[in-house]
Structure 1
Amino acid sequence: MRQAHTVEQVRAAEAGPLAVLPEGALMLRAATGLAHAVIDLLGSAYGRRVTLLVGPGDNGGDTLTAGALLARRGCAVEAVLLADRAHEAGLVALRAAGGTVTRTPGRPTDVLVDGIVGIGGHPGLRDNAVAALAAYDAVPVVAVDVPSGVDVDTGRLAGPHVTADLTVTFGTHKIAHLVDPAAAACGAVHLVDIGLDLPAAGVESLQPADVAALLPVPDGVDHKYTRGVVGVRAGSTLYAGAAVLCVAGAASGLAGMVRYDGPDRVADLVRAAHPEVVAGPGRVQAWVVGSGGSETAADALARSLGDGVPLVVDADALQHLDRPVGVPAILTPHAGELARMLGVERSEVEADQLAHARRAAQEYAAVVMLKGRHTLTAAPDGRVRVTTTGLPWLATAGAGDVLAGLTGALLAGGLDTFDAASVGSWLHGAAATHAARGGPVTAGAVAATLPAAVRLVLGVT
């Protein structure tokens, strides 16, 4: 499980048992990892030009110490100081290794290392830092710990900030590495283990082993009913295809049976595409409602709530919800839908995704899956999982319908709402990546690739 800790948790860990280490040991560990990452990015060390943008704190010390290591490897290292003071031991080490120090930015370089501010910095950047960054337009940027200027504990962007190609972080991931919009400013994220002993985090990201452990895998005594029946009340005369795609996600093999309960003409299309699906009302372990529901969504939601089983509430059904929902539920809004649910502007949700997802989960007493580049799955108790699988091509019509059906299958298969939503989102992104192979992908192709994605995560060839 990849965990993202707050600044307070990291500071507490650094002040714990590691505080007995010799002075500078943590900084040397961090700087060594940073120097190796810079060399990996450059492809070599000798003769390469490296520029350090250095602020006044320990983040600047990490940067200067890494610069000294790079200079010893043959890099031409220049530190540009952006404050009246800098980490003294780091400056001494850099100069002793042959590095140079200046206050004037702009000399040609192969890579820019952002050591302006670290995890203790305030969002935004001072004017001199903005000007210094502008002097290195189009130069690859490596951020130290986090891109300077981002809000580390929320994922918000408030004012000027660094946009990195690579972020090298230490000890643990921070929330800004996983949660957009700040995560988008991090580029690729490389974690350097410096030995911190950290508590459980409120924000985490599933990894393949976690998904494999959570998947409802049948054993020798299971049959279709013990594996769960997922019901789908989706689609309408206007959006019949949404029902077909939602059923495709539900019929990916992760539940024992799929039942479709919707308009007769739509049911005919569903049966034609998925002959194994049972059409008509009946008992289920979970309902998926709302995908392409149009004018039928309110009635489908009311009937499903009346059945008292867990729900996945998608698309058109979201606007008919009461707070709290009243049954175990997963709500699947994108930013615009969540904004309507909370009575705020879409731009507010996009700017502070973590806070709005958590707020909605508490107000609706349900798990909220805020769909986006990094989908957030928020539980009413404040826990959040961030999905980092997927690719930009997944932003395509019908993909959300497939996700809703898949999540419903996991819910019917026995996972709780938090696990079903986060595992469903992870598998959806993994299937899309596998199906796309770097190019365009359709919703139908994502659904068809779900069994292959499950085989991969389970290690079945």
Structure 2
Amino acid sequence: MRTGYRVDTVRAAERALMAELPEGALMQRAAAGLAAACAGLLERVSGARIALLVGSGDNGGDALYAGARLARRGAGVTAVLLTPERAHPGGVRALLAAGGRTRDAGPAGLRAIERADLVLDGIVGIGGKGGLRPDALPVVRAAEGALVVAVDLPSGVDADTGEVRGDAVRADATVTFGTYKPGLLVDPAREHAGALRLVDIGLGPHLPAVPDIEALQHADVAGLLPRPAAESDKYRRGVVGVVAGSARYPGAAVMCVAGALHGGAGAVRYAGPAADAVIARFPETLVSSGRPADAGRVQAWVVGPGLGDGTEARRALDDVLASDVPVLVDADGLRLLSPDAVRARRAPTVLTPHAGEAAALLGTAREEVEGARLAAVRALAERFGATALLKGSTTVVAAPDGGPVRVNPTGTPWLATAGSGDVLSGLTGSLLAAGLPGRDAAAVGAYLHGLAARALGEAPITAMGVAEELRGVWEDVAAG
């Protein structure tokens, strides 16, 4: 599992570790890892032209010491100092002693950047807030033709939130130290980070056991997947109820049922007006035309996709929320939802909005949600007392207990297609019915959903194609 910590936590861990080490040893560890990563990205180090974009903090010091190591291996290294009088003095001395050179951000410095094979971004460290200052923009633009490697994180992005408030470096790779920072794993900052490499500098023993953010990997998901036992029947495996679709949108019901059936449910009960369309595609579905409460035994409900906002839709939502089993609310169900109705429930609730729906639930603008995903998903979980899965370019999951936010590392932009969210709802509902807690069900559902889309390749996909691919990715993850 990838884990990440906020800046204040990282700073505290660094101080504790530095108290145990000789002066400067921690920066040398970081520089050694950074230099090794850069060497691995170059075809050859000897003869390579490397430019360092150096700000005034320790981030610039890391770049300078790494540049010194690369210069000793034969690279031509030029450090462009944005504030020469404030550059890390020890790093500057080390670079010059190794045969490197320094320039200010004038014409000679810009030419060195433009000619470079690799540019190290050491302008701003993890404590930076807001976008790049105007005086940094010329050197950043001069680097656009080179391979850009960010030191710890791209300058101009927010390490804690993933927000990008202004201009920021777009790196091809980011070498981060000690632990991941939340912003490296969450859009829009994640788009600026490129490929991530973590350098272990020994912070582990000084970091809290509970991180601020985490991203499941294959092994984590494999450990959470429900598996039938020898004595399992369809009820023990979990029966998920689906309240979705309408005369206008019968396909939403079909997609939701598809996700549930391919997501491990022992059986699916469908209650709604699209029964004919559901049975025609999935004859194994148990259908009912009455109230959800009269449909029969279920271990979880999914309600909302394609439901509409009329009187019958409201009655169906109220019926489901009155049950004593976990409930997942999506799409139209979210528009009919109130925080009081969710907080009054004793059983868990999972909400799965996209950015527009989340903005409506929070009373803010869509752009605010997309620009600050971590804050938005935490706010949703707190306001409704529910697990919130915020869909988007980075899908994030927050539980009402305030634990780590889970970031989904899978997926593809091709998932932005009609019905894919309905499939995710059905899949996650089946995991709830199998007994997974809300946060686990949401995170595992998003992970498998994203993997299924990836498995279909870099080409247009359909929601049903994603649903049908779930069996294969489930088998792949379970096999380890």
Confirm or deny a common fold (TM above 0.5): yes
Question: Is the 2:424–2:449 contact (alpha carbons within 8 Å) kept by the matching residues of 1?
Answer: yes
Which residue number corresponds to residue 287 of structure 1?
301
Which residue number corresponds to residue 201 of structure 1?
211
Cα distance in structure 2, aligned partners of 1:301 and 1:178 = 34
**Equivalent position to 1:262, from 246, 269, 272:** 272
Question: Are 2:416 and 1:408 equivalent residues in the alignment?
Answer: no
* 1:7-86 pair list within 5 angstroms: 7-83=7-83, 84-86=85-87
Which residue number corresponds to residue 302 of structure 1?
318
Question: Is the 1:258–1:277 contact (alpha carbons within 8 Å) kept by the matching residues of 2?
Answer: yes
Taking a change above 3 Å as real, the CA distance of residues 367 and 253 of structure 1, as seen in their structure-2 partners, is closer
Displacement, 1:404?
A: 0.2
Q: Secondary structure at the match of 2:477?
A: helix
Amino acid at match of 1:459: A
Moved more, 75-84 or 401-410: 75-84
Per the normalisation by structure 2, the TM-score is 0.92
Displacement, 1:308?
A: 2.6
Displacement, 1:206?
A: 0.8
Cα distance in structure 1, aligned partners of 2:336 and 2:230 = 42
Q: Deviations over 1:47-96 (max 9, x none)?
A: 11111000111111110011011112221111000112211121111111
Question: Are 2:260 and 1:242 equivalent residues in the alignment?
Answer: no
Amino acid at match of 1:382: G
Cα distance in structure 2, aligned partners of 1:293 and 1:212 = 33
Q: Secondary structure at the match of 1:225?
A: helix
Taking a change above 3 Å as real, the CA distance of residues 65 and 359 of structure 1, as seen in their structure-2 partners, is same
Question: Is the 2:238–2:435 contact (alpha carbons within 8 Å) kept by the matching residues of 1?
Answer: yes
Question: Is the 1:27–1:62 contact (alpha carbons within 8 Å) kept by the matching residues of 2?
Answer: yes
Which residue number corresponds to residue 176 of structure 1?
183
* 1:439-450 pair list within 5 angstroms: 439-450=459-470
Cα distance in structure 1, aligned partners of 2:122 and 2:17 = 26
Cα distance in structure 2, aligned partners of 1:368 and 1:184 = 23
Which consecutive unaligned segments of at least 5 residues does structure 2 have? 289-294
Which residue number corresponds to residue 369 of structure 1?
389
Question: Are 2:350 and 1:349 equivalent residues in the alignment?
Answer: no
Question: Is the 1:45–1:73 contact (alpha carbons within 8 Å) kept by the matching residues of 2?
Answer: yes
Which residue number corresponds to residue 292 of structure 2?
none
Which residue number corresponds to residue 216 of structure 1?
226
Per the normalisation by structure 1, the TM-score is 0.96
Aligned residues: 457
Cα distance in structure 2, aligned partners of 1:323 and 1:299 = 17
Amino acid at match of 1:45: V
Cα distance in structure 1, aligned partners of 2:48 and 2:463 = 45
Moved more, 423-432 or 33-42: 33-42
Question: Is the 2:49–2:118 contact (alpha carbons within 8 Å) kept by the matching residues of 1?
Answer: yes
* 1:309-328 pair list within 5 angstroms: 309-324=325-340, 325=342, 326-327=344-345, 328=348
* 1:143-154 pair list within 5 angstroms: 143-154=150-161
Q: Deviations over 1:236-289 (max 9, x none)?
A: 1111111111101000151211111111xx212211211221112112111101
Cα distance in structure 2, aligned partners of 1:80 and 1:60 = 10
Displacement, 1:23?
A: 2.0
Which residue number corresponds to residue 90 of structure 2?
89
Amino acid at match of 1:378: A
The percent identity for this pair of structures is: 56
Amino acid at match of 1:159: G
Question: Is the 2:121–2:154 contact (alpha carbons within 8 Å) kept by the matching residues of 1?
Answer: yes
Displacement, 1:311?
A: 0.7
Amino acid at match of 1:267: A
Displacement, 1:393?
A: 1.1
Question: Are 2:188 and 1:187 equivalent residues in the alignment?
Answer: no
Amino acid at match of 1:389: T
Q: Deviations over 1:157-185 (max 9, x none)?
A: 12222121111101100011112211121
Cα distance in structure 2, aligned partners of 1:90 and 1:221 = 66
Q: Deviations over 1:170-206 (max 9, x none)?
A: 1100011112211121111111111112212121111
Q: Runs (4+) of structure 1 moved beyond 6 Å?
A: none
Question: Is the 1:18–1:196 contact (alpha carbons within 8 Å) kept by the matching residues of 2?
Answer: no
Question: Are 2:116 and 1:102 equivalent residues in the alignment?
Answer: no
Cα distance in structure 2, aligned partners of 1:43 and 1:292 = 53
Taking a change above 3 Å as real, the CA distance of residues 50 and 17 of structure 1, as seen in their structure-2 partners, is closer
Cα distance in structure 2, aligned partners of 1:415 and 1:34 = 40
RMSD of Structure 2 on Structure 1 (CA) = 1.4
Cα distance in structure 1, aligned partners of 2:229 and 2:212 = 33
